[in-house]
Protein backbone atom coordinates (compact mmCIF):
# COMPACT_ATOMS: atom_id res chain seq x y z
CA UNK A 1 0.00 0.00 0.00
CA UNK A 2 1.10 3.56 -0.66
CA UNK A 3 2.07 5.55 2.41
CA UNK A 4 1.38 9.29 2.17
CA UNK A 5 4.64 11.05 1.45
CA UNK A 6 3.56 14.21 3.20
CA UNK A 7 6.16 16.34 4.89
CA UNK A 8 5.78 16.30 8.73
CA UNK A 9 2.90 18.32 10.15
CA UNK A 10 0.88 18.35 6.94
CA UNK A 11 -2.57 16.75 7.18
CA UNK A 12 -3.16 14.71 4.10
CA UNK A 13 -5.84 12.25 2.99
CA UNK A 14 -7.97 10.04 5.23
CA UNK A 15 -11.41 8.46 5.41
CA UNK A 16 -14.40 10.80 5.02
CA UNK A 17 -17.59 9.18 6.35
CA UNK A 18 -19.93 12.11 7.13
CA UNK A 19 -22.97 12.49 4.78
CA UNK A 20 -21.25 15.52 3.25
CA UNK A 21 -17.95 17.33 3.56
CA UNK A 22 -15.09 19.29 2.02
CA UNK A 23 -11.40 18.54 1.49
CA UNK A 24 -8.50 20.20 -0.31
CA UNK A 25 -4.85 19.77 -1.23
CA UNK A 26 -2.32 20.40 1.62
CA UNK A 27 -1.73 24.16 2.33
CA UNK A 28 -4.69 25.21 0.15
CA UNK A 29 -5.14 28.01 -0.93
CA UNK A 30 -1.35 28.30 -0.62
CA UNK A 31 1.04 26.28 -2.81
CA UNK A 32 0.94 22.52 -2.21
CA UNK A 33 4.22 20.86 -1.04
CA UNK A 34 6.51 18.85 -3.35
CA UNK A 35 6.68 15.06 -3.37
CA UNK A 36 3.34 14.56 -1.71
CA UNK A 37 0.83 11.77 -2.09
CA UNK A 38 -2.60 11.83 -0.43
CA UNK A 39 -5.57 9.46 -0.70
CA UNK A 40 -9.08 10.39 0.47
CA UNK A 41 -11.57 7.55 0.76
CA UNK A 42 -15.20 8.76 0.84
CA UNK A 43 -17.52 6.16 2.41
CA UNK A 44 -21.23 6.91 2.87
CA UNK A 45 -24.16 4.66 3.88
CA UNK A 46 -24.55 1.49 1.79
CA UNK A 47 -27.17 1.96 -0.91
CA UNK A 48 -26.29 5.66 -1.28
CA UNK A 49 -24.14 7.27 -3.94
CA UNK A 50 -21.58 10.10 -3.72
CA UNK A 51 -21.64 13.34 -5.71
CA UNK A 52 -18.16 14.91 -5.91
CA UNK A 53 -17.52 18.43 -7.24
CA UNK A 54 -14.51 20.77 -7.47
CA UNK A 55 -14.75 24.51 -6.71
CA UNK A 56 -11.06 25.26 -7.39
CA UNK A 57 -8.46 23.37 -9.44
CA UNK A 58 -4.90 24.34 -10.39
CA UNK A 59 -2.14 21.73 -10.81
CA UNK A 60 1.08 21.67 -12.82
CA UNK A 61 0.17 20.91 -16.45
CA UNK A 62 1.48 18.02 -18.56
CA UNK A 63 -0.08 16.42 -21.69
CA UNK A 64 -0.41 13.04 -19.98
CA UNK A 65 -0.61 14.42 -16.39
CA UNK A 66 2.66 12.63 -15.62
CA UNK A 67 4.00 15.21 -13.11
CA UNK A 68 1.36 16.40 -10.62
CA UNK A 69 -2.09 14.84 -10.91
CA UNK A 70 -5.41 14.10 -9.27
CA UNK A 71 -7.20 10.78 -9.87
CA UNK A 72 -10.85 10.01 -9.14
CA UNK A 73 -11.91 6.39 -8.55
CA UNK A 74 -15.43 4.97 -8.59
CA UNK A 75 -14.68 2.82 -5.53
CA UNK A 76 -11.39 1.93 -3.85
CA UNK A 77 -8.22 3.56 -5.18
CA UNK A 78 -5.53 1.79 -7.23
CA UNK A 79 -7.98 -0.51 -9.03
CA UNK A 80 -7.59 0.49 -12.68
CA UNK A 81 -11.07 -0.78 -13.47
CA UNK A 82 -12.50 1.91 -11.13
CA UNK A 83 -10.55 4.90 -12.50
CA UNK A 84 -12.93 7.66 -13.64
CA UNK A 85 -10.17 10.01 -14.78
CA UNK A 86 -6.73 11.57 -14.21
CA UNK A 87 -6.60 15.40 -14.14
CA UNK A 88 -4.02 18.20 -14.08
CA UNK A 89 -3.60 21.78 -15.34
CA UNK A 90 -6.32 24.39 -14.89
CA UNK A 91 -9.53 22.68 -16.09
CA UNK A 92 -11.40 21.27 -13.11
CA UNK A 93 -12.78 17.73 -13.33
CA UNK A 94 -16.55 17.56 -13.96
CA UNK A 95 -18.86 16.75 -11.02
CA UNK A 96 -18.77 12.95 -10.60
CA UNK A 97 -21.52 10.68 -9.33
CA UNK A 98 -20.31 7.32 -7.97
CA UNK A 99 -21.93 4.02 -8.96
CA UNK A 100 -21.96 2.93 -5.29
CA UNK A 101 -21.25 4.20 -1.76
CA UNK A 102 -17.43 4.43 -1.98
CA UNK A 103 -15.28 6.89 -3.92
CA UNK A 104 -11.55 7.62 -3.73
CA UNK A 105 -9.47 10.66 -4.69
CA UNK A 106 -5.67 10.49 -5.03
CA UNK A 107 -3.48 13.62 -5.24
CA UNK A 108 0.20 13.40 -6.10
CA UNK A 109 2.91 16.05 -6.65
CA UNK A 110 6.47 15.57 -7.91
CA UNK A 111 9.65 17.42 -6.84
CA UNK A 112 9.25 20.46 -9.15
CA UNK A 113 6.67 23.25 -9.80
CA UNK A 114 3.97 23.66 -7.15
CA UNK A 115 0.57 25.33 -7.75
CA UNK A 116 -2.39 26.26 -5.55
CA UNK A 117 -4.03 22.81 -5.75
CA UNK A 118 -7.73 22.06 -5.42
CA UNK A 119 -10.79 22.32 -3.22
CA UNK A 120 -13.54 19.69 -3.42
CA UNK A 121 -16.91 19.00 -1.82
CA UNK A 122 -18.97 15.82 -1.67
CA UNK A 123 -22.42 14.87 -0.48
CA UNK A 124 -24.34 11.63 -0.39
CA UNK A 125 -27.51 10.93 -2.32
CA UNK A 126 -27.34 14.15 -4.24
CA UNK A 127 -29.04 13.37 -7.47
CA UNK A 128 -27.53 13.96 -10.85
CA UNK A 129 -23.90 14.46 -11.80
CA UNK A 130 -21.43 13.50 -14.49
CA UNK A 131 -21.24 9.78 -15.36
CA UNK A 132 -18.31 8.74 -17.51
CA UNK A 133 -18.05 4.95 -17.37
CA UNK A 134 -18.70 2.67 -20.35
CA UNK A 135 -21.75 1.44 -18.47
CA UNK A 136 -23.55 2.21 -15.23
CA UNK A 137 -26.81 2.50 -13.34
CA UNK A 138 -28.99 5.51 -12.50
CA UNK A 139 -31.86 5.62 -10.01
CA UNK A 140 -34.23 8.33 -8.89
CA UNK A 141 -33.53 9.74 -5.39
CA UNK A 142 -34.39 7.27 -2.56
CA UNK A 143 -35.30 4.51 -5.06
CA UNK A 144 -37.07 2.09 -4.51
CA UNK A 145 -38.72 4.21 -1.80
CA UNK A 146 -40.95 7.04 -3.01
CA UNK A 147 -38.97 9.93 -4.52
CA UNK A 148 -39.10 13.38 -2.82
CA UNK A 149 -41.32 16.23 -4.00
CA UNK A 150 -39.85 19.31 -5.71
CA UNK A 151 -36.77 17.42 -6.89
CA UNK A 152 -34.80 18.18 -10.03
CA UNK A 153 -31.81 16.04 -11.07
CA UNK A 154 -29.64 16.07 -14.17
CA UNK A 155 -27.34 13.21 -15.14
CA UNK A 156 -24.95 13.96 -17.96
CA UNK A 157 -23.50 10.76 -19.45
CA UNK A 158 -20.52 10.75 -21.81
CA UNK A 159 -16.92 11.78 -22.26
CA UNK A 160 -15.54 8.34 -21.33
CA UNK A 161 -13.31 8.32 -24.38
CA UNK A 162 -15.47 5.56 -25.86
CA UNK A 163 -16.86 8.01 -28.40
CA UNK A 164 -19.76 5.74 -29.39
CA UNK A 165 -23.51 6.38 -29.08
CA UNK A 166 -25.11 5.58 -25.71
CA UNK A 167 -27.95 3.15 -25.00
CA UNK A 168 -30.32 3.69 -22.07
CA UNK A 169 -32.62 0.90 -20.84
CA UNK A 170 -35.19 1.35 -18.06
CA UNK A 171 -35.45 -1.67 -15.75
CA UNK A 172 -38.21 -0.14 -13.60
CA UNK A 173 -40.42 2.96 -13.95
CA UNK A 174 -43.28 4.26 -11.83
CA UNK A 175 -44.08 7.98 -11.55
CA UNK A 176 -47.07 10.27 -11.28
CA UNK A 177 -48.88 10.27 -14.63
CA UNK A 178 -50.81 13.03 -16.37
CA UNK A 179 -51.59 14.45 -19.77
CA UNK A 180 -48.41 15.65 -21.49
CA UNK A 181 -46.32 14.59 -18.44
CA UNK A 182 -46.63 18.07 -16.94
CA UNK A 183 -46.28 17.07 -13.26
CA UNK A 184 -43.48 14.55 -12.64
CA UNK A 185 -41.38 13.37 -15.59
CA UNK A 186 -38.08 12.07 -16.99
CA UNK A 187 -36.82 13.82 -20.13
CA UNK A 188 -33.99 12.56 -22.35
CA UNK A 189 -31.81 14.78 -24.56
CA UNK A 190 -29.49 13.76 -27.40
CA UNK A 191 -26.45 15.71 -26.17
CA UNK A 192 -24.88 17.21 -23.04
CA UNK A 193 -27.43 20.02 -22.45
CA UNK A 194 -31.20 20.71 -22.64
CA UNK A 195 -30.51 22.65 -25.86
CA UNK A 196 -29.88 19.29 -27.59
CA UNK A 197 -32.75 17.55 -29.46
CA UNK A 198 -35.23 15.92 -27.06
CA UNK A 199 -35.42 12.11 -27.37
CA UNK A 200 -38.51 11.71 -25.18
CA UNK A 201 -40.46 12.78 -22.09
CA UNK A 202 -41.98 10.05 -19.90
CA UNK A 203 -44.23 9.64 -16.84
CA UNK A 204 -46.82 7.19 -15.48
CA UNK A 205 -46.09 3.49 -15.05
CA UNK A 206 -45.28 2.39 -18.63
CA UNK A 207 -41.57 1.71 -19.01
CA UNK A 208 -39.97 4.06 -21.58
CA UNK A 209 -38.57 2.35 -24.70
CA UNK A 210 -34.85 1.55 -25.10
CA UNK A 211 -33.21 4.83 -26.20
CA UNK A 212 -30.04 5.19 -28.28
CA UNK A 213 -28.34 8.58 -28.62
CA UNK A 214 -26.81 9.71 -31.91
CA UNK A 215 -23.89 11.41 -30.12
CA UNK A 216 -21.49 10.21 -27.37
CA UNK A 217 -23.53 12.32 -24.86
CA UNK A 218 -26.91 11.83 -23.23
CA UNK A 219 -28.65 14.08 -20.70
CA UNK A 220 -31.33 12.68 -18.35
CA UNK A 221 -33.51 15.17 -16.47
CA UNK A 222 -35.79 14.02 -13.62
CA UNK A 223 -38.35 16.46 -12.18
CA UNK A 224 -41.05 16.07 -9.52
CA UNK A 225 -43.72 18.62 -8.48
CA UNK A 226 -45.11 19.49 -5.01
CA UNK A 227 -47.30 16.38 -4.47
CA UNK A 228 -48.06 12.73 -5.49
CA UNK A 229 -44.92 10.67 -6.03
CA UNK A 230 -44.05 7.12 -6.96
CA UNK A 231 -41.32 4.53 -6.72
CA UNK A 232 -39.32 6.35 -9.39
CA UNK A 233 -37.03 4.61 -11.83
CA UNK A 234 -33.95 2.48 -12.30
CA UNK A 235 -32.07 2.57 -15.60
CA UNK A 236 -28.85 1.14 -17.08
CA UNK A 237 -26.71 2.87 -19.67
CA UNK A 238 -23.87 1.55 -21.80
CA UNK A 239 -21.67 2.85 -24.55
CA UNK A 240 -22.45 1.22 -27.89
CA UNK A 241 -19.45 0.10 -29.90
CA UNK A 242 -17.22 -1.03 -27.07
CA UNK A 243 -19.93 -2.36 -24.78
CA UNK A 244 -22.81 -3.30 -27.05
CA UNK A 245 -22.53 -4.53 -30.61
CA UNK A 246 -24.64 -6.48 -33.08
CA UNK A 247 -22.88 -8.56 -35.76
CA UNK A 248 -24.62 -9.82 -38.90
CA UNK A 249 -21.59 -10.68 -41.07
CA UNK A 250 -20.62 -14.33 -41.65
CA UNK A 251 -17.49 -13.87 -39.55
CA UNK A 252 -16.01 -11.29 -37.23
CA UNK A 253 -14.06 -10.61 -34.09
CA UNK A 254 -14.39 -8.44 -31.01
CA UNK A 255 -12.89 -7.99 -27.57
CA UNK A 256 -13.76 -6.69 -24.12
CA UNK A 257 -13.69 -2.88 -23.63
CA UNK A 258 -10.13 -1.44 -23.63
CA UNK A 259 -8.57 -4.89 -24.38
CA UNK A 260 -5.71 -5.75 -23.88
CA UNK A 261 -5.65 -3.09 -21.13
CA UNK A 262 -7.80 -3.75 -18.06
CA UNK A 263 -11.56 -3.62 -18.63
CA UNK A 264 -13.61 -1.19 -16.47
CA UNK A 265 -15.55 -2.34 -13.39
CA UNK A 266 -19.36 -2.19 -13.15
CA UNK A 267 -19.98 -3.32 -16.71
CA UNK A 268 -22.73 -5.24 -18.36
CA UNK A 269 -21.83 -5.54 -22.04
CA UNK A 270 -23.60 -7.48 -24.77
CA UNK A 271 -22.46 -8.78 -28.15
CA UNK A 272 -25.21 -10.25 -30.30
CA UNK A 273 -24.37 -12.35 -33.38
CA UNK A 274 -27.34 -12.67 -35.75
CA UNK A 275 -26.86 -14.75 -38.90
CA UNK A 276 -29.28 -15.81 -41.68
CA UNK A 277 -31.72 -18.66 -40.89
CA UNK A 278 -30.13 -22.10 -41.01
CA UNK A 279 -26.68 -20.90 -39.97
CA UNK A 280 -25.11 -21.77 -36.62
CA UNK A 281 -22.47 -19.64 -34.85
CA UNK A 282 -19.08 -21.07 -33.88
CA UNK A 283 -17.14 -18.95 -31.36
CA UNK A 284 -13.36 -19.21 -30.86
CA UNK A 285 -11.75 -17.86 -27.66
CA UNK A 286 -8.39 -16.39 -28.74
CA UNK A 287 -7.48 -15.03 -25.30
CA UNK A 288 -9.28 -14.79 -21.96
CA UNK A 289 -8.32 -13.48 -18.54
CA UNK A 290 -11.08 -12.38 -16.16
CA UNK A 291 -11.23 -12.17 -12.37
CA UNK A 292 -11.00 -15.74 -10.98
CA UNK A 293 -13.54 -18.01 -9.34
CA UNK A 294 -14.97 -17.41 -5.86
CA UNK A 295 -12.95 -19.26 -3.22
CA UNK A 296 -16.20 -19.80 -1.26
CA UNK A 297 -18.42 -21.32 -3.96
CA UNK A 298 -15.91 -22.28 -6.67
CA UNK A 299 -18.24 -20.54 -9.15
CA UNK A 300 -17.82 -17.55 -11.49
CA UNK A 301 -19.54 -15.19 -9.03
CA UNK A 302 -17.52 -12.02 -9.71
CA UNK A 303 -16.60 -11.10 -13.30
CA UNK A 304 -17.85 -13.55 -15.91
CA UNK A 305 -18.60 -14.05 -19.59
CA UNK A 306 -21.74 -15.99 -20.53
CA UNK A 307 -22.95 -17.34 -23.90
CA UNK A 308 -26.66 -17.85 -24.63
CA UNK A 309 -28.25 -19.69 -27.53
CA UNK A 310 -30.65 -17.34 -29.32
CA UNK A 311 -30.77 -13.56 -29.12
CA UNK A 312 -31.62 -13.10 -25.42
CA UNK A 313 -30.50 -14.03 -21.91
CA UNK A 314 -33.62 -16.23 -21.70
CA UNK A 315 -32.01 -18.60 -24.22
CA UNK A 316 -30.28 -21.76 -23.03
CA UNK A 317 -26.89 -21.13 -21.41
CA UNK A 318 -24.03 -22.50 -23.55
CA UNK A 319 -21.35 -21.63 -21.00
CA UNK A 320 -20.25 -19.26 -18.23
CA UNK A 321 -16.55 -18.57 -17.82
CA UNK A 322 -14.13 -16.61 -15.64
CA UNK A 323 -10.47 -16.63 -14.58
CA UNK A 324 -7.74 -17.50 -16.99
CA UNK A 325 -8.78 -20.45 -19.10
CA UNK A 326 -8.04 -21.95 -22.48
CA UNK A 327 -11.48 -22.67 -23.87
CA UNK A 328 -12.58 -25.00 -26.65
CA UNK A 329 -14.76 -23.39 -29.35
CA UNK A 330 -18.52 -23.19 -28.67
CA UNK A 331 -21.22 -23.67 -31.35
CA UNK A 332 -24.80 -22.41 -31.10
CA UNK A 333 -27.79 -24.55 -31.97
CA UNK A 334 -29.60 -21.65 -33.65
CA UNK A 335 -28.62 -18.77 -35.94
CA UNK A 336 -28.28 -16.34 -33.02
CA UNK A 337 -25.84 -16.22 -30.13
CA UNK A 338 -25.56 -13.66 -27.33
CA UNK A 339 -22.38 -13.06 -25.29
CA UNK A 340 -22.71 -11.07 -22.04
CA UNK A 341 -19.83 -9.72 -19.94
CA UNK A 342 -20.58 -8.84 -16.30
CA UNK A 343 -17.91 -7.14 -14.19
CA UNK A 344 -18.31 -6.25 -10.52
CA UNK A 345 -16.97 -3.35 -8.43
CA UNK A 346 -13.33 -4.35 -8.18
CA UNK A 347 -10.42 -6.44 -9.55
CA UNK A 348 -10.27 -5.85 -13.29
CA UNK A 349 -8.16 -8.01 -15.63
CA UNK A 350 -7.04 -8.03 -19.28
CA UNK A 351 -10.37 -9.31 -20.64
CA UNK A 352 -10.93 -11.37 -23.75
CA UNK A 353 -10.53 -11.53 -27.51
CA UNK A 354 -13.00 -13.61 -29.53
CA UNK A 355 -13.60 -14.44 -33.17
CA UNK A 356 -16.62 -16.19 -34.62
CA UNK A 357 -17.65 -17.74 -37.91
CA UNK A 358 -21.05 -18.73 -39.28
CA UNK A 359 -21.41 -22.47 -39.91
CA UNK A 360 -23.07 -22.71 -43.34
CA UNK A 361 -26.25 -24.85 -43.37
CA UNK A 362 -25.64 -27.92 -45.54
CA UNK A 363 -26.84 -31.45 -46.00
CA UNK A 364 -24.09 -34.04 -46.54
CA UNK A 365 -24.80 -37.68 -47.28
CA UNK A 366 -22.86 -40.53 -48.91
CA UNK A 367 -23.21 -43.96 -50.46
CA UNK A 368 -20.48 -46.62 -50.69
CA UNK A 369 -18.98 -44.75 -53.64
CA UNK A 370 -20.22 -41.11 -53.74
CA UNK A 371 -20.55 -37.87 -51.74
CA UNK A 372 -23.79 -35.82 -52.01
CA UNK A 373 -23.59 -32.22 -50.71
CA UNK A 374 -26.49 -29.77 -50.78
CA UNK A 375 -26.51 -26.10 -49.64
CA UNK A 376 -29.53 -23.76 -49.97
CA UNK A 377 -28.72 -21.02 -52.52
CA UNK A 378 -30.29 -18.38 -50.23
CA UNK A 379 -27.67 -19.16 -47.57
CA UNK A 380 -24.91 -18.15 -50.01
CA UNK A 381 -27.00 -15.73 -52.07
CA UNK A 382 -24.12 -13.54 -53.27
CA UNK A 383 -21.85 -16.39 -54.39
CA UNK A 384 -21.27 -17.80 -57.87
CA UNK A 385 -21.41 -21.61 -58.01
CA UNK A 386 -17.65 -21.83 -58.79
CA UNK A 387 -16.93 -20.34 -55.33
CA UNK A 388 -18.17 -23.59 -53.75
CA UNK A 389 -16.05 -26.65 -54.55
CA UNK A 390 -14.91 -29.98 -53.14
CA UNK A 391 -11.17 -30.63 -53.03
CA UNK A 392 -10.25 -28.73 -56.21
CA UNK A 393 -11.85 -25.83 -58.12
CA UNK A 394 -12.68 -28.25 -60.98
CA UNK A 395 -15.23 -29.94 -58.66
CA UNK A 396 -17.50 -26.88 -58.33
CA UNK A 397 -21.15 -26.96 -57.30
CA UNK A 398 -24.05 -27.02 -59.77
CA UNK A 399 -27.24 -25.04 -59.20
CA UNK A 400 -30.21 -27.42 -59.10
CA UNK A 401 -33.49 -25.70 -58.22
CA UNK A 402 -32.92 -23.74 -54.99
CA UNK A 403 -29.76 -25.60 -54.00
CA UNK A 404 -26.07 -25.72 -54.76
CA UNK A 405 -25.28 -29.41 -55.30
CA UNK A 406 -22.05 -31.38 -55.46
CA UNK A 407 -22.33 -35.05 -56.41
CA UNK A 408 -18.96 -36.74 -56.85
CA UNK A 409 -17.32 -40.17 -56.72
CA UNK A 410 -14.76 -40.96 -54.02
CA UNK A 411 -11.94 -41.39 -56.54
CA UNK A 412 -12.14 -37.71 -57.66
CA UNK A 413 -12.08 -34.23 -56.11
CA UNK A 414 -9.07 -34.68 -53.80
CA UNK A 415 -10.70 -37.32 -51.62
CA UNK A 416 -8.45 -39.61 -49.62
CA UNK A 417 -8.91 -42.72 -47.53
CA UNK A 418 -7.90 -42.67 -43.84
CA UNK A 419 -8.26 -44.87 -40.78
CA UNK A 420 -9.90 -43.20 -37.79
CA UNK A 421 -10.82 -45.12 -34.63
CA UNK A 422 -9.99 -48.36 -36.47
CA UNK A 423 -12.55 -47.53 -39.14
CA UNK A 424 -11.93 -46.83 -42.81
CA UNK A 425 -13.25 -43.36 -43.75
CA UNK A 426 -13.19 -41.19 -46.88
CA UNK A 427 -12.17 -37.55 -46.31
CA UNK A 428 -12.33 -34.43 -48.48
CA UNK A 429 -12.36 -30.66 -47.96
CA UNK A 430 -15.24 -28.45 -49.03
CA UNK A 431 -14.17 -24.86 -49.82
CA UNK A 432 -16.54 -21.89 -49.72
CA UNK A 433 -14.87 -18.77 -51.04
CA UNK A 434 -16.34 -15.59 -49.51
CA UNK A 435 -13.40 -13.41 -50.68
CA UNK A 436 -14.25 -9.82 -51.63
CA UNK A 437 -11.83 -7.58 -53.56
CA UNK A 438 -8.28 -8.31 -52.42
CA UNK A 439 -9.43 -9.77 -49.06
CA UNK A 440 -9.02 -13.56 -49.17
CA UNK A 441 -11.66 -15.29 -47.08
CA UNK A 442 -12.03 -19.01 -47.76
CA UNK A 443 -13.93 -21.16 -45.26
CA UNK A 444 -13.07 -24.88 -45.14
CA UNK A 445 -15.21 -27.80 -44.03
CA UNK A 446 -13.98 -31.35 -43.64
CA UNK A 447 -16.45 -33.77 -45.20
CA UNK A 448 -16.22 -37.37 -43.98
CA UNK A 449 -17.95 -40.60 -45.02
CA UNK A 450 -17.92 -44.06 -43.52
CA UNK A 451 -18.80 -46.10 -46.65
CA UNK A 452 -19.69 -49.32 -44.80
CA UNK A 453 -22.42 -47.57 -42.80
CA UNK A 454 -23.12 -44.93 -45.50
CA UNK A 455 -22.76 -42.29 -42.73
CA UNK A 456 -21.54 -38.77 -43.53
CA UNK A 457 -20.50 -35.86 -41.29
CA UNK A 458 -19.17 -32.33 -41.80
CA UNK A 459 -16.96 -30.13 -39.55
CA UNK A 460 -15.85 -26.51 -39.93
CA UNK A 461 -12.04 -26.62 -39.93
CA UNK A 462 -11.00 -23.09 -40.86
CA UNK A 463 -13.05 -19.95 -40.68
CA UNK A 464 -11.72 -16.77 -39.04
CA UNK A 465 -8.22 -15.38 -39.59
CA UNK A 466 -6.22 -18.65 -39.73
CA UNK A 467 -3.09 -17.29 -38.02
CA UNK A 468 -4.96 -16.06 -34.93
CA UNK A 469 -7.19 -19.11 -34.96
CA UNK A 470 -4.40 -21.60 -35.31
CA UNK A 471 -2.77 -19.82 -32.37
CA UNK A 472 -5.88 -20.36 -30.28
CA UNK A 473 -6.45 -23.91 -31.47
CA UNK A 474 -2.74 -24.67 -30.94
CA UNK A 475 -3.15 -23.72 -27.29
CA UNK A 476 -6.17 -26.01 -26.95
CA UNK A 477 -4.45 -28.80 -28.86
CA UNK A 478 -1.11 -28.39 -27.06
CA UNK A 479 -2.17 -30.49 -24.07
CA UNK A 480 -3.75 -33.03 -26.43
CA UNK A 481 -0.57 -33.12 -28.50
CA UNK A 482 1.54 -33.57 -25.36
CA UNK A 483 -0.57 -36.63 -24.60
CA UNK A 484 -0.11 -37.87 -28.17
CA UNK A 485 3.64 -37.22 -27.97
CA UNK A 486 3.76 -39.33 -24.81
CA UNK A 487 1.94 -42.10 -26.67
CA UNK A 488 4.30 -41.65 -29.62
CA UNK A 489 7.34 -41.81 -27.29
CA UNK A 490 5.96 -44.98 -25.75
CA UNK A 491 5.35 -46.45 -29.21
CA UNK A 492 8.86 -45.40 -30.24
CA UNK A 493 10.43 -46.93 -27.15
CA UNK A 494 8.38 -50.06 -27.81
CA UNK A 495 9.66 -50.05 -31.39
CA UNK A 496 13.30 -49.74 -30.31
CA UNK A 497 12.96 -52.47 -27.67
CA UNK A 498 11.31 -54.71 -30.31
CA UNK A 499 14.18 -54.04 -32.73
CA UNK A 500 16.78 -54.87 -30.04
CA UNK A 501 14.90 -58.07 -29.15
CA UNK A 502 14.62 -59.17 -32.83
CA UNK A 503 18.33 -58.37 -33.42
CA UNK A 504 19.34 -60.54 -30.43
CA UNK A 505 17.14 -63.39 -31.74
CA UNK A 506 18.72 -63.18 -35.22
CA UNK A 507 22.24 -63.08 -33.71
CA UNK A 508 21.51 -66.13 -31.50
CA UNK A 509 20.14 -67.98 -34.55
CA UNK A 510 23.28 -67.20 -36.56
CA UNK A 511 25.54 -68.41 -33.73
CA UNK A 512 23.54 -71.66 -33.48
CA UNK A 513 23.87 -72.21 -37.25
CA UNK A 514 27.65 -71.60 -37.06
CA UNK A 515 27.92 -74.02 -34.09
CA UNK A 516 25.94 -76.77 -35.91
CA UNK A 517 28.01 -76.32 -39.09
CA UNK A 518 31.21 -76.50 -36.97
CA UNK A 519 30.06 -79.74 -35.30
CA UNK A 520 29.21 -81.34 -38.68
CA UNK A 521 32.59 -80.38 -40.13
CA UNK A 522 34.36 -81.82 -37.07
* Domains with residue ranges and CATH for the chain: 13-125 (2.60.120.290), 130-237 (2.60.120.290), 244-359 (2.60.120.290), 363-462 (2.60.40.3210)
Length, in residues, of the chain: 522
Sheet holding 14-16, edge to edge: 14-16, 37-43, 102-108, 69-73, 83-87
Contact at 8 Å (CB) between 475 and 481? no
**pLDDT the model gives residue 489:** 35
pTM as predicted: 0.61
Contact at 8 Å (CB) between 158 and 289? no
237 burial via Cβ count (<10 Å: 0-12, 13-18, 19+)? buried
CA dihedral 33, 38, 43, 44 (to 10 degrees): 10
Q: What is the pLDDT along the chain (522 residues), one digit of tens a residue?
A: 444 444 555 678 999 999 899 999 999 999 999 999 999 999 987 767 788 999 999 999 999 999 999 999 888 777 777 788 899 999 888 888 776 788 999 999 999 999 999 999 998 866 777 777 677 778 888 888 899 888 888 988 886 555 678 888 888 999 999 888 999 999 999 999 999 999 999 999 999 988 989 988 999 999 999 888 899 998 888 776 667 788 999 999 999 988 888 888 778 888 999 999 999 999 999 999 999 999 999 999 999 999 999 988 889 999 999 999 889 999 999 999 999 999 887 888 999 999 999 999 999 999 999 999 999 998 887 789 999 999 999 999 999 999 999 999 998 888 989 898 888 999 999 999 988 888 888 999 999 999 989 999 998 986 544 444 444 333 333 333 333 333 333 333 333 334 444 455 566 666 665 665 566 566
Q: What is the 3-state secondary structure (H, E, C) of 296-324?
A: CCCCCCCCEEEEEECCCCCCCEEEEECCC
Nearest to 107 by CA among 9, 41, 22: 41
Cα distances from 28 to residues 53, 85, 90, 92, in angstroms, run 16, 22, 15, 15
404 burial via Cβ count (<10 Å: 0-12, 13-18, 19+)? buried
> H or E element: which one contains 203?
none
84 burial via Cβ count (<10 Å: 0-12, 13-18, 19+)? buried
Determine the Cα–Cα distance for residues 50 and 125; give it in Å rounded to an integer.
6
Bridge-based pairing state of the strands 37-43 and 14-16: parallel
Determine the Cα–Cα distance for residues 434 and 282; give it in Å rounded to an integer.
17
| Local structure of residue 5 (DSSP, 8 states) | -
Amino acid sequence: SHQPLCPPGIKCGGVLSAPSGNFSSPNFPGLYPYETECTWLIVVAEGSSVLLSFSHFELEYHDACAYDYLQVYNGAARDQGNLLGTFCGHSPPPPFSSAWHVMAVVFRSDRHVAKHGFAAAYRKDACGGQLTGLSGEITSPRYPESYPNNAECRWSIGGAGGGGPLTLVFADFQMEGGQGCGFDYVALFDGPTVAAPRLGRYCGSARPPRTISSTPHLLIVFKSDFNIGGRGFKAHFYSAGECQEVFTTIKGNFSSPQYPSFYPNNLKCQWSIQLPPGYRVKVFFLDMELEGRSSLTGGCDYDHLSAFDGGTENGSLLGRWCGREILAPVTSRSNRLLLVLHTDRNTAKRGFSISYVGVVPMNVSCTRTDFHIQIPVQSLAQLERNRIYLGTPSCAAQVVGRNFKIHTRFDTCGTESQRRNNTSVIISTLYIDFSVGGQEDIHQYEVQCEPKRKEASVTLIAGPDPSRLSQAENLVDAQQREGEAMDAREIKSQDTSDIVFISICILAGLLMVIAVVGLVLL
